[in-house]
């Protein structure tokens, strides 16, 4: 594993896999940990921790590992003093409750609507600030917010991210990334002479192949004369004719098929002016069906006009000089399925953009579910640290030491932020901490972008409350579990 620096001097990790000789470039915590080959049992727990945060919240995967690492570091010092691990675990549990309650106390409700999305965009921009794609964070944040609002059920506060398809194509630049209110399929028309643009399309979505039926049993056909061969050929042609006619009769103007069809069927479809797309994957078929309001038809006999999907425009678009084509299905009857189409200079950039956008989409979804926010830049951690430190005196017994250590561990995240921003970490942290206490302002954080103010409220740096709470709770749970492990015994390899 090697640490490298990009053109801006920011570190990223390159993981070399011995067998495959491929390299990963990312600064997404969960991705890096997933790809690392770890043997240590405790390190495996850290990987699991990062994955849990990714599944539950989608963002904050690096922070949760930093937090757990800081708690373990503090626990080691307490163990050296002779404090029992169970008492440390109990102290950590008390402190995490204090911190979570305090976050609830300093959080703010955050209003947004379908028309005013600026506040949602600001939160997504905070998430994208730490990613490689941060130079385009404004446009990407807007795309993420619009995509989530397009598929969100605001009454039930529910967002199904499966309805957002993220597609990437090498070429162009990151600024060309766009949101399409419809579906993009990485396929083209099955015959080059078929029309490339269909307006007010009625789409037949088929999972049955365009070919004559095959008997279930083993069979053998003996053809000994030309007449018999002609009869067989005519019969096959009749099957194809009937299939194409069936599609035409119900009013279909485009056929999307999960399976392939041979040249004869393709030729017939072209002659009958029925454009068709073949080899479309099952997941894409489902999304097309959701977007166009159509039904997936497993047999030609079941095809009826009511089962056709409707789209205002279906067009084929080619890219660059490579003649690569994709199919755009837009202006759908049901707009609750959208596609984010990413462009980038190379495959690695597109993959990293996909991961960054996933985090932004998750943050927007979390805000729709629970619209409470805390301020970022380490301000929430510093404020919680002060609250936990103050509360420690109320607890008699050894747990008081563990609670104080928890407060010190909370300072690890703002300190890391200051260090990564090229600021002197200890001086910056102590200055911000004293400012928070003097002004009684829990929104003072690390001025990473050198704007000139420490007030994160003015800088519009937000984070979701549930994301922050989940970080503290998950990190505490894992550290408690590790503290209760006395020894790891691995079975001998026979």
Q: How far is CA 250 from the centre of its chain?
A: 39
Of 209, 205, 197, 143, the C-alpha closest to 325 is 197
In whole angstroms, give the CA distance from residue 491 to residue 483.
22
In whole angstroms, give the CA distance from residue 412 to residue 69.
9
The CA–CA distances, whole Å, from 163 to 150, 151, 304, 336, 338 equal 10, 7, 26, 7, 7
Of 356, 380, 390, 359, the C-alpha closest to 446 is 380
Contact 247, 274 (CB under 8 A): yes
Q: In terms of residues, how long is the chain?
A: 494
Contact 293, 154 (CB under 8 A): no
In whole angstroms, give the CA distance from residue 151 to residue 11.
36
In whole angstroms, give the CA distance from residue 34 to residue 28.
10
Q: Which residues pair with 25 in a beta bridge?
A: 14
3-state secondary structure of 456: helix
Residue with tokens 């599944």: 55
Contact 3, 27 (CB under 8 A): no
Q: Which residues pair with 315 in a beta bridge?
A: 197, 328
Helix (H) or strand (E) holding 128: helix 118-128
The three-state DSSP-derived secondary structure of 322-344 is CCEEEEEEEEECCCCCEEEEEEE
Alpha helices in 152-207 (DSSP H): none
Q: Which residues are catalytic?
A: 28, 61-62, 359
Alpha helices in 212-261 (DSSP H): 226-249
In whole angstroms, give the CA distance from residue 30 to residue 92.
24
Contact 95, 103 (CB under 8 A): no
Would strands 309-319 and 197-206 be described as parallel, antiparallel, or unpaired? antiparallel
Q: How far is CA 429 from the centre of its chain?
A: 32
């Amino acid at each position: 594993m090697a640490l490298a620096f990009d053109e801006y001097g920011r570190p990223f990790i390159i993981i070399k896999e011995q067998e495959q000789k491929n390299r990963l470039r990312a600064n997404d915590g969960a991705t890096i940990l997933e790809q690392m080959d770890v043997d240590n049992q405790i390190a495996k727990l850290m990987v699991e921790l990062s994955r849990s945060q990714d599944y539950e919240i989608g963002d904050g995967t690096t922070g949760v590992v930093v937090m757990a690492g800081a708690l373990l570091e503090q626990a080691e010092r307490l163990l050296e003093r002779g404090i029992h691990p169970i008492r440390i675990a109990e102290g950590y549990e008390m402190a995490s409750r204090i911190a979570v309650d305090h976050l609830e106390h300093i959080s703010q409700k955050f209003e947004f609507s379908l028309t005013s999305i600026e506040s949602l965009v600001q939160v997504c921009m905070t998430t994208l600030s730490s990613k490689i794609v941060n130079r385009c964070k404004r446009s990407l944040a807007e795309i993420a917010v619009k995509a989530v609002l397009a598929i969100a059920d605001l009454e039930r506060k529910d967002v199904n991210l499966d309805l957002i398809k993220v597609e990437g194509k090498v070429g162009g630049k990151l600024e060309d990334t766009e949101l399409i209110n419809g579906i993009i399929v990485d396929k083209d028309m099955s015959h080059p002479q078929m029309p490339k643009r269909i307006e007010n399309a009625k789409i037949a979505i088929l999972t049955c192949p365009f070919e004559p039926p095959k008997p279930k049993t083993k069979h053998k056909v003996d053809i000994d004369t030309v007449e018999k061969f002609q009869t067989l050929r005519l019969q096959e042609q009749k099957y194809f004719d009937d299939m194409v006619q069936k599609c035409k009769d119900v009013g279909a103007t485009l056929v999307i098929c999960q399976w392939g069809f041979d040249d004869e069927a393709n030729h017939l479809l072209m002659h009958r002016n029925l454009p068709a797309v073949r080899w479309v994957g099952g997941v894409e078929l489902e999304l097309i069906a959701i977007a166009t309001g159509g039904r997936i038809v497993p047999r030609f006999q079941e095809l009826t006009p009511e089962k056709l999907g409707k789209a205002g425009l279906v067009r084929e678009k080619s890219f660059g000089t490579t003649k690569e084509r994709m199919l755009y299905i837009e202006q759908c009857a049901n707009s609750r399925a959208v596609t984010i189409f990413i462009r980038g200079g190379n495959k690695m950039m597109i993959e990293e953009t996909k991961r960054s956008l996933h985090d932004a989409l998750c943050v927007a979804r979390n805000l729709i579910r629970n619209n409470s926010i805390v301020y970022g830049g380490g301000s929430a951690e510093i404020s919680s640290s002060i609250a936990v430190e103050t509360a420690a005196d109320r607890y008699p017994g050894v747990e008081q030491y563990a609670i104080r250590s928890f407060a010190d561990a909370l300072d690890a995240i703002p300190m890391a932020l200051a260090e990564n921003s090229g600021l002197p970490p200890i001086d910056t942290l102590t200055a911000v901490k004293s400012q928070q206490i003097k002004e009684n302002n829990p929104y003072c954080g690390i001025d990473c972008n050198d704007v000139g103010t420490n007030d994160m409220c003015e800088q519009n740096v937000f984070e979701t409350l549930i994301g922050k709470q989940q970080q503290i709770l998950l990190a505490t749970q894992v550290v408690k579990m590790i503290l209760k492990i006395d020894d790891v015994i691995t079975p001998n390899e026979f």
